[in-house]
Structure 1
Amino acid sequence: MLYSFLRNEPLKNKTKSKLTTSTKTVNCLVNMLGWTSERDTDMRLFAAKVTAKMADNLRVASVPGAMQLIASLLNSAHVQKMKDPLLDNCSPEPEQGNPIEEAGGNEQTTQMFKWLKQMAIYCFIPREEPTNMDEQKTNILRCCWKGSIPEEEPSTDTDLLPVLGMLILDKLASFDLENCIEISRAIGLMSKIIEFTSNQTDMTCINEIGQLKTSSLKVLGRLSRTEGEFGVTVRQKISEHPFLLSHLAEILDDSRSSQKLRKLTIKLLRNLAMDRNINQEIGQIPVIISKLIHAFLKQGEPSTTGSDQTLSGQALAILAMDSAKNCLAMLAEEGDVFIKELADMIKDAKSCYVASSLLRDICVHARSKLGIWNLQEISSILGKVLEGIMDAEGKGAELEVLVGLSSQICKVIPEDFARELEHGQIREGFIERLVSVLNTNTPTAHCPGIRRVIVEHAIYMMECNPGYANCFIECKMIEALLEVERKPSRAEKYKFFLGDAGLMEHAIPLSALVSKAKELMKP
């Protein structure tokens, strides 16, 4: 069976092993993952190695029970199981026989799989890259008939079954959405994966602990980044685990955590924060907010990299997007320093848009906590923000963020905003720019709120200075608003998209804002 498959399929391309297996071969290997007898330990390890090699090119939905057999590898981790004295059974139930294990007890079957093991190790993990397919087939035949089977390489820490199990899950999740669905549906599997993010284990091998924690965060990160409606469902399922957030807080607060672990943790927090309910819960854990802010501002984090800073900023921006409590928690953590740092970042092109998004939402949700020094810092970046909006190259999501920040500055410090327009002699040009953007932009998944922020900006300008209404009328703002009414879009209900799934719905419909803007332009 395995031999006939190997004869007819390429084993390895020039850069990476890509195994195209028959259903029978996959069934054979995956079933071996469930052999838990001590006499079958080597065979099970072999099956896990080969499955890990081909997992990044494998769909498991076609193999009945495959995910539960893969999940069984995780049971080998020596995780201490504490018992509840109120729930523990006094007398253990008799163990049931394992039909898969019993099937592996036949000596003839065992010998056959040992031979398959040696063949597969030779063919799946070749020592040298054959120059062509004919040479591959010749090597297989030579191995088969002359018995020139190479010795196995010595085991290493990566041979541990739980580590291999997590590696298989990581590759499966990264390869195919159907695999992600299978992982999420497997009973108890998500809980097992999340358990490996904890420090509270009875494992003695430090390498094993680190590898399992890293792998579990990678798998959870991949699953939580899934697009579409399924992504919404899987993020909710992950976030329902009662200990996950405390585990993530421990990783961020532990000085021994590697930079890689911190990065994976922050990425997972950013993804989970897209769900409104978990967003609020994350904000209630001060250590998470503190560590994210410090990483974003690079305070006391000499090893923080540019990508770590970006991830931290993104996580904070999503946490602030729909939560007054989270914005207040951020200000309580750093206060004046936070606003000053955000203002400085807006002057830097590298961090401009993440910082602009954060500052916009702080203005929306925490205006009462902004002192005079904060308002001066915000006023100092107004020229830079207006310049970005007027720039002909500014478009899409970046323009949406800048217009959103500008509208909030107009609302928070209207006198400073009006002064900047007049001193820069850009009032007419700025209003023309807003109307032009409203006319030429339609909502997309990349920037669903571009028309919303333009209409909001017009409202705030006319509320702070009714004289602006005539300028908007002259620039044909009413006609532009009528066009928005003629072509409404469901996409404008949401603050952002992941795939085709809209996330964080706006409280006020765009149609209500359009009506208000038209009302302000009435003579």
Structure 2
Amino acid sequence: MILRKKSSVADKSSAEATTMFANEQSVEDPQDRRPHHVQIPVRHGSILDFARHSLFAPHPAPSDSNPTPAEWKSSIIHTPPEKQLTLLAFRLAILEKSATGLGALAFIWATTVVLSGFLDDLRPNDYAFVTVILVIEGIRIFSRSHELEWQQLPAHPLSNSGRVQLQGDVCWIVASKFISRALSCLQLLSAVTCVTLSLMRLIDQDYGAEVESKRNASISLNLFFGLALGEALIFLVERSYWAWRIYWCRLLENVSREYKLGPMGIAPIRRFFYEIYTKCVNDSVFDGFKMNLVSFAEDLLDSEFHEERLMGLQVLRKLVGNARFVFGTLRKIGSSTSTMERLIEMLNWKNPGEEEIRLCAAEIMSELAGRRRNVLRVAAIPGAMESLSSLLHSGSTSDQINPHELNLLGLLIFKKLSTDHHNCCKIGSTRGLLSKIIGLTGSSRDRDTPTAQSRIVKRSLQLVKMLVETDGEVGKMLRQEISKIVFTVSNIREMVKNGDIQMQKLGIEILKSLSMDEHAKEEIGNTGGVIKLLLSIFFMPRFSDDENYVCNQAGETLAMLALESSNNCDRILKKPEVLKKLIGVLTDPVLRINASRILRNLCAYTRMECYDDLGQVAVAMPTVLKAILKEKEKLLEASVGLATQLCKFTNADEFARALEQAEIQEIELVEKLVEILKEYEYPDIKVPRIRRFVIEQAIWMMNSDSNSVGLFEKFGMERLLESVEETTSELECFHIFSGSVGLSRHRKTMPYLVETASNIMSAGN
């Protein structure tokens, strides 16, 4: 039973846009010994733009020089939110270095001047004040440096396995926070104490300066206490500014909210801020401007600790998921080979505790592969395809990770990589990869398949469709390799039979593309039920545009299967009343183009011993003749092509009766054929076989009735044949096309046909 589900309205031109036929001819030209598949030179012009997306005709590869509207919008430069943190760290570092400089000067002054030069002149309390201030400042500097170290420690520095006991986690987090806050309080207490002691001595001024010998000592002490006071005040200003910006203005929360980091956002933002601040304090104050959140996250990927690696991945995942920052983030990641190599390496991590890391890396790679500039960079990494293929493994995962998520992400990455020919070639040459992809198309044959598994099947079908539709020699190789996998056709048959309308579309389009390969064409025909299934879809009742599209695709696939395959022609003819049904839909506005193609191929490639089965096809001649006079473009091409083959089953008298039944005069038909050659003065990329069909029909008419020669002469056929001979091209020499590469060359060349028609006219004269 074929499932038909209503879905969004498809583009009505899509049925024509996927047509693959270009020309067919069953008569062999013994002089033509050229290869049957060559690269066709294509003229670039407006006519190519019109048919750029048609598969039935050659089309050039699209240019990727200009960004898409979405990429252009996302490439707008935005001021990074972390710039506020960088400026804060810069200002705080200036204050910190100023305080440290004054402290160092005070220490040097105290040790080299006060304590060395005036030790005998100091009172005991002055000596005690100087000593206490020096000790306090030493404690502050010590606690300051160690506070920064504790702030940058990972959550679990004693374990990198990712499997730490919960009790140990809690104890370590509580201890680290307590130590950090204790050191911070110690700094504040030291600074306040220093301010208090310095002010006390500066206000009292009881240094014993009444003695002339102690005046220099008092000046030195005032300078020391002034330096100590300045250092402590600058530090307190720094801490006040810090507290105001961090706690009152909630700067970390604002940056996290702007990046949409969610609940996990505060921890990496705080860690990032301390990294910048430490770099500004320990090195140049301008070094912080060289850092950004992306580079910070990239550095975390190389950490030895599980939590830090996961933190870096989570930050990158959030950034690439934010439309405002995705362009800049992916550009930075894509320009770092080491980062991409690290992400690729993480895809191979299969330990239970590392599944979340693997999932995050896969999500980032899926975004990275979606950018055209990065498509080749990703695939160029050694071992990238093998690592990506590990995502398609159907093994079990932990409860936290959906078992289908990695499969879906792997398929999505390969879909994006498949937009490039070189990557398609690598996919085809990666050992076991195509088998894994095909295996996912048969994940479930149950109509009640869970949603996630159904998505896997659909996405795998989409990937297979992209691969088999690849242009040129790469596409030929992929079609051959995919058709060799024994489960390919049977899996697709089940999806077409039991899947929804979208799966039917994908499955039929895959069969259509596979049928471009001679071996695959026979495999499809040999697989039980495929041709019967396609015929039932082609003739089924239709109630929506989607169903019209599916029916047309089924018809086109049948025409492809019958092309140059006498075995498949026999299989089609064995189905009950198939000819009657095909003749009946020649008047159906949706199906008549593909019905004409199927009938033409049946007439052209069926074995001679089966011709008796085709005898009834001649009754379609009046309908076809009417279409020749009334229709245009593709239907006109298909009708003329069918007429040339129907004439094989009729004689001159039967042809005349068919004209009479169609209420058409022979002169009208001749005039129409001549008008077609006049209209198509040059080969047309939309209907490349129409001139060939017209000449073949004219040859048959002139051979069967000598009076037709005079009619063709009357309308200037000789001059038109000369024009055709001068304008023939490779475009008219092939049955089907893969991109701009012609496949399955006609055995009879256009010059041969033109010469034959000219000789008949000359003999008639």
TM-score over 0.5 for the pair? yes
- Determine which structure has greater relative contact order: mean sequence separation of CA pairs < 8 Å that are 6+ residues apart, divided by chain length: 2
- Say yes or no: does 1:341 pair with 2:651: no
Deviation digits for residues 124-168 of structure 1 (CA, Å, limit 9, x no counterpart): xxxxxxxxxxxxxxxxxxxxxxxxxxxxx9754542x22321122
Question: How much has 1:216 moved relative to structure 2?
Answer: 1.9
Partner of 1:403: 640
Q: Check the 8 A contact 1:157/1:208 in 2, yes or no.
A: no
Partner of 1:26: 340
Q: What are the residue-to-residue correspondences of 1:198-217 with 2, within 5 Å?
A: 198=442, 209-217=453-461
Question: How much has 1:268 moved relative to structure 2?
Answer: 0.7
Give the AA of the match of 1:338: V
| Equivalences, count | 434
- Say yes or no: does 1:167 pair with 2:485: no
Question: How much has 1:245 moved relative to structure 2?
Answer: 2.5
Q: What are the residue-to-residue correspondences of 1:342-421 with 2, within 5 Å?
A: 342-366=582-606, 369=610, 378-379=618-619, 381-391=620-630, 394-395=632-633, 397-414=634-651, 415-421=653-659
Give the AA of the match of 2:628: I
Q: Check the 8 A contact 1:32/1:44 in 2, yes or no.
A: yes
Pick from 361, 380, 385 the counterpart of residue 67 of structure 1: 385
Distance 1:45 1:279 in 2: 39
- Say yes or no: does 1:184 pair with 2:502: no
Deviation digits for residues 40-66 of structure 1 (CA, Å, limit 9, x no counterpart): 111111111232344332534213132
Shift in alpha-carbon separation, 1:352–1:425, aligned structure 2, 3 A:
closer
Shift in alpha-carbon separation, 1:243–1:443, aligned structure 2, 3 A:
same
Distance 1:261 1:172 in 2: 22
Give the AA of the match of 1:430: L
Question: How much has 1:361 moved relative to structure 2?
Answer: 1.4
- Name whichever of 232-241 and 265-274 sits farther off: 232-241
Shift in alpha-carbon separation, 1:467–1:310, aligned structure 2, 3 A:
same
Please give the root-mean-square deviation of Cα atoms over the aligned residues, in Å.
3.4
Question: How much has 1:244 moved relative to structure 2?
Answer: 2.0
- Name whichever of 226-235 and 262-271 sits farther off: 226-235
Distance 1:474 1:342 in 2: 36
Give the AA of the match of 2:724: V
Distance 2:690 2:534 in 1: 28
Shift in alpha-carbon separation, 1:17–1:248, aligned structure 2, 3 A:
farther
Partner of 2:570: 328
Q: Check the 8 A contact 2:555/2:595 in 1, yes or no.
A: yes
- In our comparison, the structure showing a higher alpha carbon Rg is 2
Give the AA of the match of 1:488: T
Deviation digits for residues 52-103 of structure 1 (CA, Å, limit 9, x no counterpart): 344332534213132221112123446xxxxxxxxxxxxxxxxxxxxxxxxx
- Say yes or no: does 1:432 pair with 2:671: yes
Question: How much has 1:297 moved relative to structure 2?
Answer: 1.1
- Name whichever of 186-195 and 360-369 sits farther off: 360-369
Question: How much has 1:341 moved relative to structure 2?
Answer: 1.8
Q: Check the 8 A contact 1:447/1:496 in 2, yes or no.
A: no
- Gap regions ≥5 residues in structure 1: 79-152
Give the AA of the match of 1:232: K
Shift in alpha-carbon separation, 1:300–1:199, aligned structure 2, 3 A:
farther
Shift in alpha-carbon separation, 1:33–1:13, aligned structure 2, 3 A:
same
Distance 1:303 1:257 in 2: 18
Partner of 2:492: 248
TM-score (normalised: structure 2): 0.52
Partner of 1:275: 517
Question: How much has 1:267 moved relative to structure 2?
Answer: 1.4
Distance 1:401 1:302 in 2: 25
Question: How much has 1:346 moved relative to structure 2?
Answer: 1.4
Shift in alpha-carbon separation, 1:302–1:439, aligned structure 2, 3 A:
closer
Q: What are the residue-to-residue correspondences of 1:432-451 with 2, within 5 Å?
A: 432-441=671-680, 442-451=682-691
Question: How much has 1:473 moved relative to structure 2?
Answer: 2.1
Shift in alpha-carbon separation, 1:463–1:325, aligned structure 2, 3 A:
farther
Partner of 1:482: 722
Q: Which SS does the other structure have where 1:73 is aligned? A: helix
Deviation digits for residues 330-369 of structure 1 (CA, Å, limit 9, x no counterpart): 01023xx212222222111111111111111122233764
Distance 1:495 1:222 in 2: 21
Q: Check the 8 A contact 1:11/1:18 in 2, yes or no.
A: no
Q: What are the residue-to-residue correspondences of 1:505-516 with 2, within 5 Å?
A: 505-516=745-756
Shift in alpha-carbon separation, 1:10–1:284, aligned structure 2, 3 A:
closer
Distance 1:172 1:458 in 2: 49
Q: Check the 8 A contact 2:375/2:420 in 1, yes or no.
A: no
Give the AA of the match of 2:655: F
Partner of 2:555: 313
Partner of 1:261: 503
Give the AA of the match of 1:407: T
Q: Which SS does the other structure have where 1:448 is aligned? A: coil
Q: Check the 8 A contact 1:272/1:278 in 2, yes or no.
A: yes
Give the AA of the match of 1:296: F
Question: How much has 1:377 moved relative to structure 2?
Answer: 6.1
Q: Check the 8 A contact 1:11/1:19 in 2, yes or no.
A: no
Q: Check the 8 A contact 1:435/1:475 in 2, yes or no.
A: yes
Question: How much has 1:192 moved relative to structure 2?
Answer: 1.7
Shift in alpha-carbon separation, 1:479–1:422, aligned structure 2, 3 A:
farther
Give the AA of the match of 2:522: Q
TM-score (normalised: structure 1): 0.74
Pick from 191, 194, 204 the counterpart of residue 438 of structure 2: 194
- Say yes or no: does 1:41 pair with 2:286: no
Q: Check the 8 A contact 1:343/1:378 in 2, yes or no.
A: no
Partner of 2:273: none
Shift in alpha-carbon separation, 1:56–1:69, aligned structure 2, 3 A:
same
Distance 1:304 1:327 in 2: 28
- Name whichever of 307-316 and 418-427 sits farther off: 418-427
Question: How much has 1:370 moved relative to structure 2?
Answer: 5.9
Q: Which SS does the other structure have where 1:62 is aligned? A: helix
- Say yes or no: does 1:228 pair with 2:490: no
Distance 1:19 1:449 in 2: 50
Q: Which SS does the other structure have where 2:737 is aligned? A: strand
Q: Which SS does the other structure have where 2:669 is aligned? A: helix
Shift in alpha-carbon separation, 1:47–1:251, aligned structure 2, 3 A:
same
Deviation digits for residues 205-231 of structure 1 (CA, Å, limit 9, x no counterpart): 955643333222211101111223332
Q: Which SS does the other structure have where 1:502 is aligned? A: strand
Question: How much has 1:293 moved relative to structure 2?
Answer: 0.8
Give the AA of the match of 1:3: L
Distance 2:690 2:679 in 1: 10
Shift in alpha-carbon separation, 1:426–1:286, aligned structure 2, 3 A:
farther
- Gap regions ≥5 residues in structure 2: 1-290, 296-314
Distance 1:45 1:401 in 2: 51
Q: Check the 8 A contact 1:421/1:427 in 2, yes or no.
A: yes
Question: How much has 1:378 moved relative to structure 2?
Answer: 4.6
Q: Check the 8 A contact 2:347/2:362 in 1, yes or no.
A: yes
Q: Check the 8 A contact 2:421/2:474 in 1, yes or no.
A: no
Identity across the alignment (%): 30
Distance 2:484 2:539 in 1: 30
Distance 1:321 1:40 in 2: 52
Question: How much has 1:259 moved relative to structure 2?
Answer: 4.1
Distance 1:300 1:490 in 2: 38
Partner of 1:150: none
